[in-house]
Amino acid sequence: MKTMLNQLLADNRGRGIFRVENAAEDVATIYLYDVIVDDDLFGGVSALSFVTQLSALNAKTVHLRINSPGGDVFAGQAMAQCIREHPANIIAHIDGVAASAASWVAIAADDVVIAPGAMMMIHRANTITCGNADDLMETAALLEKVDSILVAAYVEATGQGAQQIKDWMDEETWFSAMEAVQYGFADSIAESVPKTVNVSGKWNLSAWGNAPKLDTEDPAPKDTITEPSHTPELEPTEHLRRRLRLAELQAA
């Protein structure tokens, strides 16, 4: 049985890129155009690769261009923390989609600009597990803790109430550019659609339950936004448990 992250990687293998331009200049650009992963041995962009590249930049302004279907929640957290701590003015540009973990990375920037036809998505954490009833209840408690961390981050970034964020996450909600700005996930809409560097075209988003077709113009806002179901995909229970304990120690 594939995990959500494995499905994203399999469906989009070879479509993404990760690169840095003008690294020695005062204004640099990072292209985060791939799945976010814990280990990029089999593809995607790992937190280690991203943090290494960003930390090496001495630019005063960094344009972080994002077109990512999401991925691993803890890798996304590590990327987001590096963005928060970096001394540069970091501007996130959502060129295509910032789904799941990629939305968390985006909102860590100093300014978030979304393209007219782009979208953002938030959802609840998910994983696969096995064992007895106690094991399953323990995993559920861990996932609830991850959800609470995500809710707090979205509340702080958007100014929305915790219950509203929870409702959106429960539904796996996809926000249009207009909605992203309206609800505080982005600061402004770009004046023009950026040139894509994703040479293979659009992402295969079939791993997500409510993923819209992205071959149309910016959709009209819905009366009620719907979204979440998975944040960055979490790994099997034991690995999740170890990583969550590590995150708690780091936050202490």
* Number of C-beta neighbours around residue 52 at 10 A: 11
100 flagged as catalytic: yes
Q: Catalytic residue among 46, 63, 86, 100, which? A: 100
* Number of C-beta neighbours around residue 94 at 10 A: 28
DSSP state of 211: P
63 flagged as catalytic: no
Three-state SS sequence of the chain: CCCHHHHHHHHCCCCCEEEEECCCCCEEEEEEECCEECCHHHCCEEHHHHHHHHHCCCCCEEEEEEEECCECHHHHHHHHHHHHHCCCEEEEEEEEEEECHHHHHHHCCCEEEECCCCEEEECCCECCCCCCHHHHHHHHHHHHHHHHHHHHHHHHHHCCCHHHHHHHHHCCEEEEHHHHHHCCCCCEECCCCCCCCCCCCCCCCCCCCCCCCCCCCCCCCCCCCCCCCCCCECCCHHHHHHHHHHHHHHHC
Strand, coil or helix: 168: helix
Q: Catalytic residue among 123, 176, 229, 230, which? A: 123
Annotated catalytic sites, by residue? 100, 123
